[in-house]
Structure formats: structure tokens, C-alpha cells
Structure 1
């Protein structure tokens, strides 16, 4: 593959991102669902690629025809297949860069209820998924026990985590899990947004919301995903002078160092294992850990250093957010555009069972546990955790913005503080990354017991401590 061919694949990316945005502006029902342009563009790419258009063309043209790949080329599909696993490292490296890290006391005070609720939901997805696998998926469909982790990997982690786990799935002989988890992540985001909007309308009618009393006040521009003129502000601050270094270049370099530091940590862990417990147990557990959670740790370490030495505050959180958002758009579009429909079709019943079980658990948790765990503004605060447990953090933020457009409740502050403790472990953190290797090495039962204990800890802490406040 030549450099020109690789560069051309990014022109495809640009085209489908613009197509997705244009469709979002023009199609009313997509506006009402608040679907991101990257998801829309990803579906268009999937339809016009080898999985749909290519297979349809195969009925009327020869196997050697270029139409068997749809309008995509083999080089495009090859590069796109690798991009999600690369971009997730950038997404996680940026989670804490440029952010103020508060004290544990403040995190507990403001984010504790949402942490208890989110902790319960995340570990509960493991419990539900592993039980479903042990009782149904393994004996009747022959899926390995690792399938029990797919609900949390896909729903809490989203497309990025699923993409980041692709190498782990392949090394463990369950490469189909990548396509299944990407499909589940898509179902999670779609159902999270749709059901979230339905729940918000229900809550307004039942007077369970404390901030908004109707959901009809959104402008046409907002539904189209365009910032209203009066709300427009700079996308980032100019913290350094461009003649010394372009601000975007500086921030990209810091993000790159965070990923590199995570890579060094991973190599160090693999080396330590090779000379210690790896020799004693004849195992190679660390080699299965993906890079992205350690890139997040790299970002935290770099931010701690900047907090101590950066008196000029040259790291701008909004600039970091732009890098993160750009990487996430590419990740989602390419992940959806390259998903294998053949794999999902082959495992359609297990796929639907996993999706249904995950959705039912999340809805149950939100309607039954959230009002009993979160003492004030339970709907405004809980809907964010519901959105995250169904898709990604952005889904939760979107739903919170709908029910609290002017940030009148403690929802955003509590959600942000909760993320500082939650993200390093669940939703793509260390537990998510380690869950599949642990189940592969030790079996499903030990991890099921541990997940059940963690889920119970979250429930009891929420009900008996925060719920009584």
C-alpha cells in the first residue's frame, strides 16, 4: 500500500463525515434523535461498502469487479479497520489532560451518589452478561465464556473500547467478539438516545423533573446540530503564541506523550510479568491488556506533572476536547463502516439476547435504583449515568443537557466528579480491559462472583448511605 493510497482513505473519511452532517441537517427524524453525524456517516459507509452494496453487486457482476467492494477500495477498508484501535488511545489519553483534579472529599460529596449508581450499573452488566452466557449462550450456541463481558465492553465502553479490545479478542481466539461488540455498541447508543428521549417525555408528564417542564423548546439550529449564534464561543484558547508553536500542535504533542507513556507502562508490566509471576505460573496475562487504559494513566501522570510545574496554564481543556472529539468521530465512523454483518448474522440470536439483556438491566436500574440511590434531582442526575451505561459519555451528557439545558441542577458537576473515579476502572478502564483476559485465564465463575460482590457494594452504598440523605 502506497502513501498516496493511505492518504486517499482520509479523503473518504472527510466525505462521509460531511455526508453524515448534511443528512443530519436535512432529515427531521434524525434531528429529533440527536444522532451524531459520525454514526450517520458510518451507516452510509457500511451501506455503500462491501457488506451491503458489494454483496448486492455480486449478484450481477463478476467476483473480479471493483463493485464487489461497493464504492470503497480494499485499501480504504484496510486502513479504516485499523483506525478505531489507534484512535481509542487518543480518546482515553485526553480524558484528564487539562482538567483540574479535585480532592477525594469533594468527589465523594458531589459525585458519590452518581458513582454508587454508575458502579452498580457497570458491574451489573457483567453479572447479567456472564449469567446469560453460562446459562444460555455457551450451552446452546457454543459461545466462549468471554462473551459474558461483551455487554459492559460495548454498552459502557462504546465503539472505542470495543475497537481497542480487537487485538485482545483475536489473541484469545474469539475474533468475532469485535464485530459483535461494535454492533452492540451501535445498538446501545441508538437505544440509549431513543429510550432516553422517551423517558424524558414520560418524566416531564409525570412531574418527575425539577428543571424543565416541557421538551419542545429546542431551536431548529440545535436540532440540526448547529450552535445558535448567541451561544457561539471560541472552540479553544490560544495559550501559546503561534509563532513559537501552533497551539494545536502543542496539545497534540502532549497527547502523543501521554499515549507513549502508556505504552512504556505496558511494556514495563509485560517485562515484570516475564521475570516474576509469569515464570512461576507459566502465563502471559499482561500481553492481553490493550493500550488505551494505560494511555489514560499516562494522561493522568502528565496532568499531575503539569499541575506542579505549569504556572502559565498552557494546557487548555477545550483544545484537548477538540482533539478528543475529532478522534472519537473518526473512531465511530470507521468502526461502524467496517463492521462485519456476516458475523452478526451468524450470531444473531446471541447478539439479540445480549442486547436485550443489557437494555432491560439499564432501564430497570434507572427506574428502580436511581430514585432510591440519588437523593436530589434523581432524574436529572441519573439520566446521564443511564445514557453512559447504554452508550458512551457523550450520550449521557446529551441527555443531561436536554433535561437541564442551563445547568441548574448538580447533574453535570456530579457526573464530572464521578467520572474521575469511575473511568479508570469501568467504561473502558482497567476492569474493562482486564475482564476478558481474566475470564479467559480463570473462567467465568470467579469473575462472576467478584462482579456480583462489586455490584452489591454499589447497591448497598447507594441505598443505605446516599439514599438516606
Structure 2
């Protein structure tokens, strides 16, 4: 049924104009079709009378599928080989990136830290504010983190938060997972609409380098498919031959094998009841194990065997199924009971995200600041693909260096977020809101330090930077 929902979502996205305008992913559309037509919303009158066992399985799937999604993150990252080919020499001019590039990456990472952890800070702070004012009396300890998780992590993070809380034996894990799905949906729609507005505004004011005036976006980008065979992208490189093993099968085995090692490691740690780390969720072990495995592969000079484009597609495939499952099984009644406080949080944190992203980008990026601002806005209100989508609208052929800086900054921010979540939740549950808020506060300070280190000594004013794009 999940596959059916995905296909229906893809068809609706291709046919309905209003879905094309907000660039809503097929997995989100399909998930809501399953939710609305199923027994969770319609009860005994459901058009799709899905068995309760199926819905329970759907609720568990995001926490399972997120493991290979996270395990694929390190693949493709650059590690030095332990071997040096005979006769190889080091090109001193090209062995290191320029200081200008490193500064830009530092600022990009710093801004992403401030926005994503600022969202968590505000979520925790507003939870505390709700409690002391009596606005909500039944808010659980981690309530509020779902907004930052949904905005900066997207629908896939619902599985991360849900599995983490489930592993910590918190009874509200399904509610938190459902709320994260809700905030992610609001975030991705709002982020795209506001991002398009900023791009068009930047084009009118001549702040954009690659757009002379506000314009329409390609039809294939709106519809979600490419019918021109000549323009269809390649899936990836065949690093293995089918006479031995199919390339896709090998890459899938590599990702799932790393996930299996993570499960094995966790079982050993739980068997010996190792304090603290035995409570760390499985996906955290997956990313640690895969970093180690990938480091060994690169050290042996075998990095050519893995094509990061294929592993990215595998990760995206699991994410699509995780998203449609999370939405189709969303506990609507439980989510609605928190709707008003969550709505207020989304408005306040959304405003912080939009204005914070715009101001920080304009203030601290010396070049391509409007392109960088929409990329950061997209990933801070949806997922990496949302940021990539908005960047492609502002820079259709990716002629600027923004994509490289943005990708590296996003990767660093994502890894930090995965590491932080278990500690953040542990503090919130066991020590309360005030100790829990220390983690996002610390990362915000680190983000500010990165910006201070990376910013150019002399920044031109906005008008002069706009003139450069004429």
C-alpha cells in the first residue's frame, strides 16, 4: 500500500497545479492520501479500510528505515588514502582549498548552526514558558523539539525522533513523531513559498547574479518528472560488473551491511549492559560504524568502489518510504491536542528562521548572499533537497560556488545534529528544561565563533554587493 500511496502522490503532483506551485514531494502527498482516506481520519467509514496491524507497522517503519538512511551519510566523504601511488607527487597549489573557500564554509556552517540550534532553543524555551503560564499542563519533557526537528530535519527526522524516544521508553514517541511530521509539512510549504518570494524580490532588486528578473520555473521542476530523454540524469556509475554483482545490489548490500554491523554492536553493548552508551539509539551507531567502515575503505584506496550518487538514491528511496509511512500512520487525535501550542511555536520559530537566515546571510556573506540565504532557508525549513531546489531556482546551472559550500556546511550540521539529539533528549527527560537548553545554547555560541573566524575583514554594504550582480 505504501508503494501505491507513493505512485498516487507522484501522479497528483504531476497533474495538480497548486501542488506544483508549492513543490510538495510525492511522499508527503501520498502519505496524506493514506491518512485522510484511512481509518485514522474516517474511522469505520474509511475508504481504505487498512487493518490496524498495518497502521502499527507503518508507525514503526520510519524508525527502522532511518537506520540505512543515516548509514549512507558518510559515504562519498573525502578521506586520505593510506597508500601513495608510485611516482605520485603532491601538487602544493591544489592540495588544500583556498583560505577564502574555508572562510565561506566556516560562515555557512556557523549560520546553519545558529538557525537550527536557535530553533531548538526556542522550542525548549517556549515549552518552559507554556508550563509556567499554565498555557499547557500536559506537555512532555521534549515537547517543542519537534518544530526544529521538522523544520531543519524534514519528514525523515520524524523517524529519528520517534525511534530515539521509543528506545528511551517514552510513551509519547508516536505523538512526537506525528507532530514532527506536521511541523515538517508546514515548514516545507512555507519555506518554498517564502524562498520563491525572496528569489523574485532579489531578482527585482538586482541582488541575484543569475536571474535578471522574476520568472517562471521549468515545468519539469514543477511536475516532478523529466519527459525529455536527452535531459534525464544518469542514476550513477557502475563500479561493479553484473557478471559478478549488480552495482545497485552491491551498494544496497554495503549500506545494509553497515546497518547490520550497527545492530550487532548495539546488541553486544546491551548484552554487557555498558552504562550510558547502551541507551544510545541504533541510528547513532549506524552513522559511527559507517564512518569507521568508510574511513577504512578510503584508507585502503578503494573509495572508487562506491558511487555516492547511487548511495544517495538508496538513502532517498528509504526516506520516501519512511515519510509516507510516518504520515499515513500519524496519530491525528494526539497531534490535534497539541495543535494550538505547536502552531504558535511554528509561527515564532518560522519567523526567526526567515528573518535570521536573511539577516545573517546579508550581513556575513561577501558574495552570492541571496543565493546562500535561500539555500539555508530551504534546508532550515524543509530538507537539503528543498534548499537545493531554491538554490537551483536562483542559480539554474549551479555556476556559483554556493552548492559546494552549502553541501559541506549542511553535512557538518547534520552530523552534529545526529550526535546531539540523544544527549539533548537525555538532559530534557532526566534533568529538565534548563539543563537541556544548554546544548543548543552552546552550539549557537560555536556557530557565532565560526562566523567570526570566517567572515572577511571588510564586508561591502548591500548596495555595492547588489551592484556586483548587475
Do the two structures share a fold, i.e. TM-score over 0.5?
A: yes
Structure 2 residue runs without a partner (length 5+): 81-94, 459-470
Distance of aligned partners of 1:337 and 1:467 in 2 relative to their CA distance in 1, 3 Å threshold? farther
The 8 Å contact of residues 129 and 357 in structure 1, kept in 2 or not, is answered as no
- Does 249-258 or 177-186 show the bigger shift? 177-186
Distance of aligned partners of 1:80 and 1:287 in 2 relative to their CA distance in 1, 3 Å threshold? same
Which of these residues, 372, 376, 379, is aligned with residue 370 of structure 2? 379
Which of these residues, 429, 436, 440, is aligned with residue 429 of structure 2? 440
Q: Which residue of 2 aligns with 1:7?
A: none
Q: Which residue of 2 aligns with 1:121?
A: 115
Q: Which residue of 1 aligns with 2:215?
A: 216
Cα deviation for residue 94 of structure 1 reads 0.9
The 8 Å contact of residues 126 and 148 in structure 1, kept in 2 or not, is answered as yes
Q: Which residue of 1 aligns with 2:461?
A: none
Distance of aligned partners of 1:364 and 1:271 in 2 relative to their CA distance in 1, 3 Å threshold? farther
Rounded Cα–Cα distance in structure 2 between residues aligned with 1:218 and 1:250: 37
Q: Which residue of 2 aligns with 1:5?
A: none
Distance of aligned partners of 1:303 and 1:70 in 2 relative to their CA distance in 1, 3 Å threshold? same
- Does 105-114 or 24-33 show the bigger shift? 105-114
The 8 Å contact of residues 168 and 288 in structure 1, kept in 2 or not, is answered as no
- Does 103-112 or 317-326 show the bigger shift? 103-112
Rounded Cα–Cα distance in structure 2 between residues aligned with 1:116 and 1:135: 27
Q: Which residue of 1 aligns with 2:157?
A: 161
Q: Which residue of 2 aligns with 1:357?
A: 348
Cα deviation for residue 117 of structure 1 reads 0.4
Rounded Cα–Cα distance in structure 2 between residues aligned with 1:264 and 1:371: 47
Structure 1 residue runs without a partner (length 5+): 1-11, 58-66, 279-284
Which of these residues, 87, 94, 117, is aligned with residue 65 of structure 2? 87
Task: Say if 2:151 is the partner of 1:151.
Answer: no
Rounded Cα–Cα distance in structure 1 between residues aligned with 2:233 and 2:2: 27
Alignment partner of 1:375: what SS? coil
Distance of aligned partners of 1:82 and 1:400 in 2 relative to their CA distance in 1, 3 Å threshold? same
Rounded Cα–Cα distance in structure 2 between residues aligned with 1:105 and 1:268: 41
Rounded Cα–Cα distance in structure 2 between residues aligned with 1:307 and 1:165: 31
Cα deviation for residue 233 of structure 1 reads 3.3
Rounded Cα–Cα distance in structure 2 between residues aligned with 1:212 and 1:265: 51
The 8 Å contact of residues 147 and 177 in structure 1, kept in 2 or not, is answered as yes
Q: Which residue of 2 aligns with 1:177?
A: 176
The 8 Å contact of residues 126 and 144 in structure 2, kept in 1 or not, is answered as yes
Q: Which residue of 1 aligns with 2:240?
A: 240
Distance of aligned partners of 1:148 and 1:30 in 2 relative to their CA distance in 1, 3 Å threshold? closer
Alignment partner of 2:370: what SS? helix
Cα deviation for residue 439 of structure 1 reads 1.2
Rounded Cα–Cα distance in structure 2 between residues aligned with 1:240 and 1:386: 38
Task: Say if 2:43 is the partner of 1:48.
Answer: no
Cα deviation for residue 235 of structure 1 reads 0.7
Q: Which residue of 1 aligns with 2:135?
A: 140
Rounded Cα–Cα distance in structure 2 between residues aligned with 1:432 and 1:311: 32
Rounded Cα–Cα distance in structure 2 between residues aligned with 1:265 and 1:396: 35
Rounded Cα–Cα distance in structure 1 between residues aligned with 2:268 and 2:365: 41
Rounded Cα–Cα distance in structure 2 between residues aligned with 1:317 and 1:28: 33
Q: Which residue of 2 aligns with 1:396?
A: 387
Alignment partner of 2:406: what SS? helix
Deviation track 1:372-420 (CA, whole Å, cap 9, x = no partner) reads 1222111111221211111211111111111111111111000122134
Deviation track 1:228-260 (CA, whole Å, cap 9, x = no partner) reads 444223212111111211111111111012212
TM-score with structure 2 setting the length:
0.86
Cα deviation for residue 84 of structure 1 reads 0.9
Rounded Cα–Cα distance in structure 2 between residues aligned with 1:218 and 1:71: 39
The 8 Å contact of residues 117 and 443 in structure 2, kept in 1 or not, is answered as yes
Task: Say if 2:359 is the partner of 1:368.
Answer: yes
What are the within-5 Å matches in structure 2 for residues 57-96 of structure 1?
Answer: 57=45, 67=46, 70-96=48-74
Task: Say if 2:318 is the partner of 1:324.
Answer: no
Rounded Cα–Cα distance in structure 1 between residues aligned with 2:214 and 2:247: 39
The 8 Å contact of residues 79 and 299 in structure 2, kept in 1 or not, is answered as no
Count of residues paired in the alignment: 436
Rounded Cα–Cα distance in structure 1 between residues aligned with 2:378 and 2:283: 22
Q: Which residue of 2 aligns with 1:38?
A: 27
Rounded Cα–Cα distance in structure 1 between residues aligned with 2:96 and 2:28: 36
TM-score with structure 1 setting the length:
0.86
Deviation track 1:129-157 (CA, whole Å, cap 9, x = no partner) reads 11111112464212133214222222222
Cα RMSD between the aligned structures?
2.4
Distance of aligned partners of 1:93 and 1:467 in 2 relative to their CA distance in 1, 3 Å threshold? same
Which of these residues, 1, 12, 24, is aligned with residue 23 of structure 1? 12
Cα deviation for residue 365 of structure 1 reads 0.9
- Does 306-315 or 78-87 show the bigger shift? 306-315
Distance of aligned partners of 1:104 and 1:391 in 2 relative to their CA distance in 1, 3 Å threshold? farther
Q: Which residue of 1 aligns with 2:397?
A: 406
Rounded Cα–Cα distance in structure 2 between residues aligned with 1:432 and 1:312: 30
Q: Which residue of 1 aligns with 2:90?
A: none
Deviation track 1:49-75 (CA, whole Å, cap 9, x = no partner) reads 1122336x2xxxxxxxxx4x8432334
- Does 213-222 or 179-188 show the bigger shift? 213-222
